[in-house]
Structure 1
Amino acid sequence: MSVTLQALGLDESMADALRSLPDDVVPGRVSRVDKGLATVLTERGPVRATWSGGLLTAVANDPQAGPCTGDWAVLRFWSDDRITLESVLPRRTAIVRAEVGGSSRGQVLAANVDVIAIVVGLVPEPNIVRIERFLALAWESGARPVVVLTKSDLVSDADGLAEDVAMAAPGADVLVCSAQTGDGLEAVRALLDGNATVALLGSSGAGKSSLVNALAGVELLDVQEIREDGKGRHTSVRRELIVLPEGGVVIDTPGLRGIGLQESGEGLAAAFPDVTVLAASCRFKDCGHVTEPGCAVQAALEDGSLPYRRYDSWVKLQREAAYMARRSDARLRSEARKEWARDTKAYRRDFKSRPK
């Protein structure tokens, strides 16, 4: 099935980048990535492409340079029927989390996203602290975060729960819907207007696959029941870009257990604007917001205008982001030393081989 690039979510800025490409290459958008292979949607139809030599070199130097779901890519079709993914165009937005396992490197979950829908099931009751973590990740990406509360048909006080979530999500819309009854789906579908790209993030069992099926009007993805202990089962096993029949693009992602932040600065400030404003009002610029005199954050805690729960969440994420920043700086210094050592070794080898 072939589609236009506009139906794949092409915007004007990316269209300008594509116009500068040579005539012997074909643009497309990465739908999914496997080991060494990518499914790319083009106006010729979907194709499977392997990495080019230049891309392999780029990935060896920077793992984030590798293609991910949502990337706009440049393809080359060869006379022996091979198709290679030559390069990835600069990303307009990118959802990056810290790699699982404690690495200081980031993992790109999806790229060129307009809206990040943080999908949270109303059963069991939403975890506010986890939502705040997702919001920090989403704001950092450059895309617009929206919290989508699903399974409203299973609770009697969906609007009350939505108000609690909204208090922890300043600046982000909070939508309530049910994939089973269709209630609230029009507001979710409106996020896709103009062939926008919406990435779904959330824990397993939040209802992401059911939401995609409801938006598409057909059963595109498998769904599973929640376990008896209330925890979700993994339905999606990989990130995949899906073009919806009525317009718009959805990127479905597997349920995330770990949501590590990587040097989240602007994202954390945007997720906690209330605390950020208070912190800027402290008497001392380097205030630790614990026991310092003239601390506006502590004053807000004492008068009750800032909940302790939200303060604790902010402190934890601040410490995590600072830790990842230190680790990243250490890694960059180490890589720079290794590169210097390689260049020095190569120079000495070339110097010795020169004719006398």
Structure 2
Amino acid sequence: MTINLTKYGLTTAVQVDLTKENGQILGRIIGQHRDWYQVITTAGERSAQVTGKLAYEAASPAAFPAVGDWVYLASSADNQAQIEAIEPRQSVLARGAVNHQDGQIIATNINTIFICMSLNADFNVRRLERYLTIAWDSGALPVIVLTKADVSVGVPTITCSAETGQGLDELQPYLTTGQTVAFVGSSGVGKSTLINRLLGQDILATKSIRTDDDKGRHTTTSRQLIPLPTGACVIDTPGMRELQIFMGDLNQTFAEIAALATQCKFNDCTHTSEPGCAVRAAVEAGTVTSERLQSYQKLQREMSYQGLNSRQLEQAKIQRMFGGKQAMKRVKQRYHRD
């Protein structure tokens, strides 16, 4: 049986050959379990590991394959294969690692990120700001999925219930053929339940939240990519209660503070005690809350690329997303041809 890879997100924008000249076979990472990967190809699902050469040349953990990546496998007759190359990524959703030095990739080549958060006792605006910061930096569009729509300005927000079906129609524009969507959020917010509803069957295991404190219990333990009946693909991710920031876009998440900062007397204003600070003036006037500014400053200190100039920031992002400038140019050439 031949698998149609368009069910797994292959589009003309990706613009890759199904087989390279040296016999390599194209596939997409749909699951990851430590050093083993599940890869879907036209011939079906394969188990694979990276080659020693790819592992040796990897400059950081982010250079290894991740769920959502398009990869090339060495031609093999058995079900076990070797990953020899990774196609340049169109987008990358990453968080900080425990050592605060490396980034941990959550998913790649995604079009939309559904940030799922339930409005119960465990709801946390500061956590939402963290998710938005890494989502805006990923190259994908963030969409907030809540039980009501009054928490964030400038981001599409959908009122949704997997139990009643409320809001499911509003998700459909993001779930068309060729689109890849990542679901992120804390444990117990209903990501797997929502995905099951979109699938039309209970494929993913689910658990309810704890009744004593409204906190979730881990159900999803690994990332996996699943095709939907609509032609889109979804990536389910494990719950992330502690979300470390590796790289992020604070200017999008805190757009009002970024706009005010341009009016400060000093270009390098830290918005703490400098004279002529427009941000502090807004806090004193009550148009920006002190909690919001404190969250902005905390994330700013936390991000690993603090101290880099604008050119270094751009180079760091190009390296993380595409593997270098030449790879980025190839991606741009593909879109230009389309």
Scaled by the length of structure 2, the TM-score of the pair is 0.86
Q: What residue is the counterpart of 2:110 in the other structure?
A: 113
Contact 1:30 1:38 in 2 (8 A): yes
Paired letter, 2:242: G
1:179-213 per-residue CA deviation (whole Å, 9 max, x = no partner) reads: 01101111113211233100011000110000100
Structure 2 residue runs without a partner (length 5+): 313-338
1:84 is paired with a residue of what secondary structure? strand
Whole-Å Cα distance in 1 between the matches of residues 295 and 80 of structure 2?
50
Cα contact 1:49–1:85 (8 A) shared by 2: yes
Distance 1:138 1:238, change over 3 A: same
Deviations 1:23-77 (A, max 9, x none): 5111011001123321111121111112222222123x32211111000010122
- With over 3 angstroms needed to count, the CA separation of the structure-2 counterparts of 1:57 and 1:173, relative to structure 1, is same
Q: Which amino acid aligns with 1:174?
A: T
Structure 2 CA distance for aligned equivalents of residues 304 and 106 of structure 1: 36
**TM superposition shift of 1:95:** 0.8
Residue in structure 2 matching 1:260, options 236, 244, 250 = 244
The amino acid across from 1:219 in the alignment is D
Q: How does 1:75-94 map to 2 (within 5 A)?
A: 75-79=73-77, 82-94=80-92
Pairwise CA RMSD: 2.0
Does structure 2 conserve the Cα–Cα contact (< 8 Å) formed by 1:261 and 1:324?
no
Give the corresponding residue for 1:307: 289
Instruction: Give me the whole-angstrom Cα distance separating, in 1, the residues matched to 2:53 and 2:206.
Output: 39
- How far the C-alpha of 1:13 sits from its partner, in A, is 3.2
Tell me the equivalent position of 1:130. Answer: 127
CA distance in 1: counterparts of 2:301 and 2:2, whole angstroms: 47
Q: Which residue of 2 aligns with 1:337?
A: none
Q: Which one has the bigger helix percentage?
A: 1
**1:4 aligned residue:** 4
| Counterpart in the other structure of 2:61 | 63
Q: Percent identity between the aligned chains?
A: 38
* Contact preservation (8 Å) 1:116, 1:138: yes
Aligned AA for 2:9? Answer: G
Contact kept in structure 2, 1:104 and 1:324, CA below 8 Å: no
Is 1:180 paired with 2:163? Answer: yes
**SS at structure 1 position matched to 2:136:** helix
Following TM superposition, by how much is the alpha carbon of 1:326 offset from its aligned partner in structure 2, in angstroms?
A: 5.9
Query: 2: CA distance between counterparts of 1:81 and 1:176?
Result: 43
Equivalent pairs counted in the alignment come to: 308
**Equivalent position of 1:144 in the other structure:** 141
Contact 1:58 1:66 in 2 (8 A): no
* Equivalent AA in structure 2 for residue 86 of structure 1: E
Aligned position for 1:230: 214
SS in structure 1 of the partner of residue 182 of structure 2 = strand
Q: Does residue 286 of structure 1 match 2:283?
A: no
Instruction: Please tell me whether residue 211 in structure 1 is matched to residue 194 in structure 2.
Output: yes
Structure 2 match to 1:52: 51
For residues 78 and 196 of structure 2, what CA distance do their matches in structure 1 show?
Answer: 38
Change (3 A) 1:145 1:32: same
Q: Is the 8 A contact 1:2 1:46 kept in 2?
A: no
Q: Which moved more, 1:81-90 or 1:268-277?
A: 81-90
Q: 1:18 corresponds to which residue?
A: 17
Larger Rg: 1
Secondary structure of the residue aligned to 1:121 is coil
2:32 alignment partner AA: V
**Structure 1 gap segments, 5+ residues each:** 153-157, 330-356
What letter is aligned with 2:263? Answer: S
What letter matches 2:216 in structure 1? G
SS at match of 2:276: coil
Measured in 1, the distance between the counterparts of 2:105 and 2:117 equals: 21
Distance in 2 between residues matched to 1:221 and 1:82, nearest whole Å = 25
Q: Match for 1:87: what amino acid?
A: A
- Give the Cα separation in 2 of the matches to 1:314 and 1:280: 15
Aligned-partner Cα distance in 2 for 1:7–1:211:
20
Change (3 A) 1:241 1:82: closer
Distance 1:303 1:326, change over 3 A: closer
Change (3 A) 1:80 1:315: closer
CA gap 1:239/1:273 in 2 versus in 1, 3 angstroms: same
Once residues 216 and 107 of structure 2 are traced to their aligned partners in structure 1, the CA distance between those partners, rounded to angstroms, is 22
- Greater relative CO, 1 or 2 (CA 8 Å, sep 6+): 2
Displacement after TM superposition at 1:324 (Å): 5.3
Q: State the alpha-carbon separation in 1 of the partners of residues 277 and 306 from structure 2.
A: 25
Deviations 1:77-113 (A, max 9, x none): 23566421111111110011110x2331111111001
Segment drifting more, 219-228 vs 111-120:
219-228
Deviation by residue 1:106-129 (Cα, 9 ceiling, x = unmatched): 111110010011011122362111
Q: Does 1:98 align with 2:81?
A: no
**SS in structure 2 at match of 1:73:** strand
